[in-house]
């Protein structure tokens, strides 16, 4: 495939994300406790997740019939192929269930192990972030770039808190070191939106652990195409399947990485 092919595919995904987002937003006021099933000890999923995923899988299968899928809700056969869609139909489920207007659809397309297309739909506000490899990053048709801030002292950093409570002590150590260095820390509850907000220059950086591929595949490409840097906690490139990620405007990447890797108090 060529760049123009990636662009064409991406442009076909946009209306699908928009229509699925409209469904999710319309269901926001209808969710009741009887429609919610327990997924894990601290994770809930509603019927909205599954219906949205079915809509996305059906639409994406029409765009690329030969593609496989990695999806959160497993409404389709999980099958990684040469071309694979990586889909989170509703990132920020708990926000959605509590009526907090911060949740997203995340759609990435990997070709031979490399992410070539990424789209994140900010459902409540109708913002569509997208990128294709080598083509730059966009928000509703307008190019976006990461911020130019060069110091942690001027940076707003986002993070997430894992459901594994055994990680709390180490998480708090990192948070303590970080709070001494940065302008502010935010915890919004939707990894895909944290990533695209780095891409759009609204945040300088984002880090989180215990993540899945569908949380980060699309957003990570959008950050990179907006001029940012994305690695795992070791500074390597195993952030899609490695479970942890750091995404920054590139300017502060090494500074943030040092704080995350430090064993002592700084």
pLDDT at 238: 96
Name residue, tokens 């490695």: 242
Whether 199 shows a pLDDT value over 50: the answer reads yes
Whether 163 shows a pLDDT value over 90: the answer reads no
> Where along the chain do its domains lie?
3-143, 152-261
Whether 3 shows a pLDDT value over 70: the answer reads no
pLDDT at 79: 77
Joined together, the tokens standing for residue 43 give 């994770």
Alpha carbons 217 and 203: distance in angstroms, whole number: 18
68-112 per-position pLDDT tens digit: 999 987 777 777 789 999 999 999 988 988 888 999 999 999 999
- Fold adopted by 152-261: D-Maltodextrin-Binding Protein; domain 2 (3.40.190)
Alpha carbons 237 and 122: distance in angstroms, whole number: 26
Average pLDDT of the segment spanning 123-136 = 97
Strands 205-209 and 156-159 turn out to be: parallel
**Residue 58 CB neighbours (<10 A):** 13
What are the beta bridge partners of residue 104? 91, 122
What radius of gyration do the chain's Cα atoms show? 18
Say if residues 233 and 209 touch (Cβ distance below 8 Å): yes
Alpha carbons 181 and 84: distance in angstroms, whole number: 39
- Identical topology for domains 3-143 and 152-261: no
CATH 3.30.420.40 fits 3-143, yes or no: no
11-42 per-position pLDDT tens digit: 999 999 999 999 999 888 766 554 555 543 23
Alpha carbons 130 and 137: distance in angstroms, whole number: 6
């Amino acid at each position: 495939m060529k760049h123009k092919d990636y662009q064409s595919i991406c442009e076909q995904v946009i209306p699908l994300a928009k229509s699925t987002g409209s469904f999710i937003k319309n269901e926001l006021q209808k969710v009741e406790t009887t429609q919610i099933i327990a997924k894990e000890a601290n994770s809930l999923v509603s019927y909205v997740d599954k219906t949205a995923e079915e809509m996305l899988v059906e639409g994406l299968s029409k765009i690329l019939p030969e593609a496989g899928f990695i999806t959160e809700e497993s409404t389709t056969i999980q099958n990684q192929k040469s071309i694979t869609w990586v889909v989170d139909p509703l990132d920020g489920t708990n926000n959605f269930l509590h009526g907090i207007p911060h949740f997203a659809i995340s759609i990435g397309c990997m070709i031979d192990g490399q992410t070539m297309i990424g789209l994140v739909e900010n459902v409540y506000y109708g913002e569509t972030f997208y990128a294709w490899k080598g083509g730059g990053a966009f928000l509703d048709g307008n190019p976006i770039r990461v911020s130019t801030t060069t110091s942690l002292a001027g940076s707003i950093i986002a993070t997430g808190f894992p459901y594994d409570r055994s990680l709390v002590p180490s998480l708090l150590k990192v948070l303590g070191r970080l709070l001494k260095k940065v302008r502010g820390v935010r915890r919004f509850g939707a990894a895909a939106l944290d990533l695209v907000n780095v891409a759009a220059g609204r945040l300088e950086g984002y880090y989180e652990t215990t993540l899945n591929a569908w949380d980060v595949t699309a957003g990570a490409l959008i950050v990179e195409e907006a001029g940012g840097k994305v690695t795992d906690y070791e500074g390597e490139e195993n952030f899609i399947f490695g479970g942890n990620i750091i995404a920054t405007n590139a300017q502060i990447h090494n500074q943030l990485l040092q704080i995350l890797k430090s064993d002592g108090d700084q």
